[in-house]
Structure 1
């Protein structure tokens, strides 16, 4: 493959997008592969304060196979068509090309990133995979501030979701490790990636 992918996984709000921008590589935003809000296969929350609402934190709310097709095309051809997703609208508003412009590396980041690590490894697409972590309280406030600023969902829903994700952070990290990610802070991952790039 002419190009390989660096996967950045980790809890929502941990700093994956900031790290991706800091690396200066082309970025595939995996959150753009969410299903549309009217998709009948979307998973629903079965208990708690948000019972009956779509569970956007469940992998079944996300198009795994479409993501792998885009990753494979980027590694093989250096270009692919990617959706433009509006979280606040629960749907796509078009698509756009993503061109690596000859870069041998690119970043794929998103909350469901661990799900693609095994397939990328088997297919020879994977350069490295990291689970980006911060202290849970830091992740909670960063996520909540971002989601409120971007008006992603109603404030009460965002707060309740944030508390649920705060309690779930340890499991999220463990799951990423099981699927092949290495745990690192944003600074640690940046140092490892830039060191590895300088050696090639």
Structure 2
């Protein structure tokens, strides 16, 4: 695959752009710049008191495991957006470790929308199988760059305590290349931000075909 523009599919319906990458890689800011509707997959985290949450070997919840996330609910929301153009989405507070409400996301006729989150690549196979997928992208940076961005964001937003953020950040920085490789194995295409933005805009510019006239 070239480093220019992906061979994006032409489709008469809205399609999902799955945007994955390590925590702090710039997924949210890229999705906002692209000017398309955004489904934030972090809203599908499990509540902090869910007994099925995975644990780290040293203790505490492993929020970087896909087992900490409602995969089937996220897929159902993507399916609803592609088929109907709207979906009810949970609103999740990371500092509060739980859902605080719901909201309605509408596409308003957009040809594509971004579903972004660290687990987005987990949905590449199911979305492709169901004909929902436009493209799956994994953002790739230098691990040190990602770590610094992640730490600044998490401190600014008060996501967790600073000692927790430092421990998590060091662990993620050491494993970042493996995280990217794993997301590529799931079907995502790894690239840097500028190339990812070009490909998102290319798919978003493909307008849906008009609905057929009534007989």
Shorter-chain TM range is over 0.9
Query: Displacement, 1:193?
Result: 2.7
| Residue 176 of structure 2 corresponds to residue 169 of structure 1 | yes
- Deviations along 1:70-102, one digit per CA (max 9) or x if unpaired, are 000000000000000000010000001001111
Corresponding residue number in structure 1 for 2:7? none
Point out where structure 2 has 5 or more consecutive residues left out of the alignment: 1-11, 208-215
| Residue 74 of structure 2 corresponds to residue 67 of structure 1 | yes
What SS does the aligned partner of 1:18 have?
helix
| Residue 25 of structure 2 corresponds to residue 14 of structure 1 | yes
Residues 64 and 153 (structure 1), Cα distance of their counterparts in 2 relative to 1, 3 Å cut = same
- For the 8 Å contact 2:111–2:204, the answer to whether it is kept is no
TM-score, normalised relative to structure 1 = 0.95
Corresponding residue number in structure 2 for 1:23? 34
Corresponding residue number in structure 2 for 1:89? 96
- Deviations along 1:125-145, one digit per CA (max 9) or x if unpaired, are 000111001111100000000
Query: Displacement, 1:2?
Result: 2.9
The number of aligned residues is 196
Tell me which structure has the larger Cα radius of gyration.
2
Query: Displacement, 1:195?
Result: 3.6
TM-score, normalised relative to structure 2 = 0.88
What SS does the aligned partner of 1:88 have?
coil
**Alignment partners' CA distance in 1, 2:202 and 2:134:** 13
Corresponding residue number in structure 2 for 1:140? 147
Query: Displacement, 1:196?
Result: 4.5
What SS does the aligned partner of 2:159 have?
coil
What SS does the aligned partner of 1:162 have?
helix
Q: 2:118 aligns with which of 95, 108, 111?
A: 111
**Alignment partners' CA distance in 1, 2:39 and 2:63:** 19
Point out where structure 1 has 5 or more consecutive residues left out of the alignment: none
Question: Over the residues paired in the alignment, what is the CA RMSD in angstroms?
Answer: 1.2
What SS does the aligned partner of 2:135 have?
strand
Q: Give 1 or 2: higher helix fraction.
A: 1
Corresponding residue number in structure 2 for 1:191? 198
- For the 8 Å contact 2:111–2:206, the answer to whether it is kept is no
What SS does the aligned partner of 1:106 have?
strand
Q: 2:106 aligns with which of 99, 103, 127?
A: 99
- Deviations along 1:45-94, one digit per CA (max 9) or x if unpaired, are 11xxxx22011001100000001110000000000000000000100000
Corresponding residue number in structure 2 for 1:39? 50
